[in-house]
A and B are shown apart, each in its own frame.
Chain A
Amino acid sequence: MRDVYVLGVGMIKFGRYPERDVAELAAEAALLALKDADLTIDDVQLLASGNLFQAHAMVGQRILQQIGQTGIPVINVANACATGSTAFREAYLAVASGECEIALAVGSEQMGKAGLLGAGERRESVEGILGSGLMPAVFGQAGVEHMRKYGTKMEHFAKISVKNHKHSVKNPLSQYRVEVTLEDVLKARMVAYPNTLYMCCPTGDGAAAAVVVSEDVRKKSNRKAVKVACSVLTSDPWTERDLTLPDVNTLTRNAARKAYEKAGIGPNDLDLVELHDCFATAELLHYENLGLCAEGEAARAVDEGWFEWGGRLPVNVSGGLLSKGHPLGATGVANIYEIVTQLRGEAQERQVEGAKAGLAHVIGLGSACTIHIFTV
């Protein structure tokens, strides 16, 4: 496999665009990434498009109908919340394998306000009767499991929400840019214990894109490139309770182990992390899953501010899914957008000084986990 670089990234502000077609949103992000890479759609040899809600509707081809029908191969990807990052991985693999020199990955989603709670009442639903399959409850249960194991408190999860909302104020592309206090978070409407409203990511629309290229292309470009140090994808292995409580931990741990091995660096070498904080409970679990702290140490790390901007290892300086937003298919590419922007030193107000290595983690329930590590 050859070395692969990100030469351009683009992202539209996450939010609500009910009057727009999702392919238009995706096309905008694609053009931003191409411009950033100083390339055009005519240079692109493969497109990987991630979209979940319209997985059957050929969003990738519709992007080309918006910006240039060049006839290149298009892969439409759906992989739950890891949809965008799996599309990025497809583009990465196409270049790494020598199949092409320049590939474009686009993640997009238009959720409206339907959201993670589900599409509405179904007469034969078992929701509320046989427990809950709703995401806030599933990740609530996973958080309560951590409380059980280590005595973690609701306040620890809530502090993560405070941190990510604070970070988002400095990100112009974030869906929300409002600081919240610990009291605001704890007193907000309970969605599914221990996750209150501010501890759940919002629903929304958005798109992000990345241009990946070979070493040859990189050498000819004046644009600052970021190396893809590894691309890892895992699914959930058989574990004891995975049947009833989706195990978001084991596949992340498996992915992290592989990622650090492939990249040849460990968690101590990272300067920043964008991880999948779909709920505040999830972020805390992933501190341990990704080896950013020791087992059972996450609550202490939260109390001591390890993962705040300016702390020992900033996590979700973009505002994270909790505040930046989580348009499902866009999220995985948006995380990569943040890492690449930071490693290029172009993150302005929220820049992590001297960042040389960053990790982007995404998990999709069902389950799929991607980890990409980037270096400069």
Chain B
Amino acid sequence: MTQETPERTVRPQRPIVPFLRLGGEGEEPYLVARKCKNCGALYWGTRVACARCRQSSGFEEVKVSDRGTLWTYSIVHQSMPGIPVPYVAAIVDLPEGISVRCTLVDVEPDPAKLPFGMPVEMVTRKVREDKEGNDVIAFFFRPVAKNGGALAQRPEES
């Protein structure tokens, strides 16, 4: 996975949502889910008790994979004012058993280019600056490169 924000600067960074962690020195950004200690159900964000098993067994944070597969999508051509269109609004399944709502990047907004089950990987990019002067960092998913890129070292791909 690649941090695509231009060179690291002294500007402070803020993740766009709490479940995106930007990682420490030498660490790549990642998503964290909260896992029910009783039944293993995964959530983005907190729950008072588990919505699936109803138990108050507590939750633990788990780092989830930055790779997943495309479950479904829509291509948004008409959005709120000021938001560039079109964009691919996707639901990506992660191997841990949770899905994530995200925008697909580096892919044509064309159903023919969006096969179900397509392997995708997470990237992070700066999307804006907030009032406090932080760079706001968001996560996106993109098709896993067939040649080179992040998968080059995987034996089955070489």
Contact = CB atoms under 8 A, between A and B. Distances in A.
A245 B71 CA distance: 10
A189 B78 CA distance: 9
Contacts of B80: 117-118, 120-122, 125, 127, 134
Contact of A131 (B81, B86, B89, B127): B89
A190 B99 contact: no
B102 to A, nearest CB: 5
B149 to A, nearest CB: 22
Interface residues of A, number: 38
Contacts of B86: 190
B133 to A, nearest CB: 15
Interface of B: 16-17, 41, 43-44, 51-52, 71-87, 89-91, 93, 97-103, 111, 116, 127, 130, 138-140
26 contacts: A122-B80, A125-B80, A128-B89, A129-B16, A129-B138, A130-B16, A130-B139, A132-B79, A132-B101, A140-B75, A140-B89, A141-B72, A141-B73, A142-B72, A148-B71, A190-B86, A191-B77, A193-B74, A193-B77, A193-B111, A238-B41, A240-B97, A240-B99, A244-B100, A245-B72, A245-B99
A243 interface: yes
Contact of B74 (A120, A140, A244): A140
B75 A193 contact: yes
A131 B83 contact: no
Contacts of A137: 74, 76, 89
B74 A130 contact: no
Contacts of A128: 76, 79, 83-85, 87, 89, 103
A241 B76 contact: no
Contacts of B82: 121
A195 B75 CA distance: 9
Contacts of B103: 128-132
Nearest to B52: A238
A1 interface: no
Given A130-B101, A131-B89, A148-B116, A136 B81 contact: no
Contacts of B116: 148
Nearest to B98: A243
A141 B78 contact: no
A121 B82 CA distance: 7
B110 to A, nearest CB: 9
Interface string A214-255: 000000000000000000000000101101110000000000
A225 B130 CA distance: 60
Interface in A103-152: 117-118, 120-122, 124-134, 136-138, 140-142, 144-145, 148
B54 to A, nearest CB: 9
B99 A192 contact: no
A107 to B, nearest CB: 27
Contacts of B140: 129
Contacts of A244: 44, 91, 99-101
Interface in A170-228: 189-195
A240 B96 CA distance: 12
A131 B102 contact: yes
A192 B72 CA distance: 13
Contact of A125 (B74, B83, B84): B83
Contact of A127 (B41, B75, B77, B79): B79
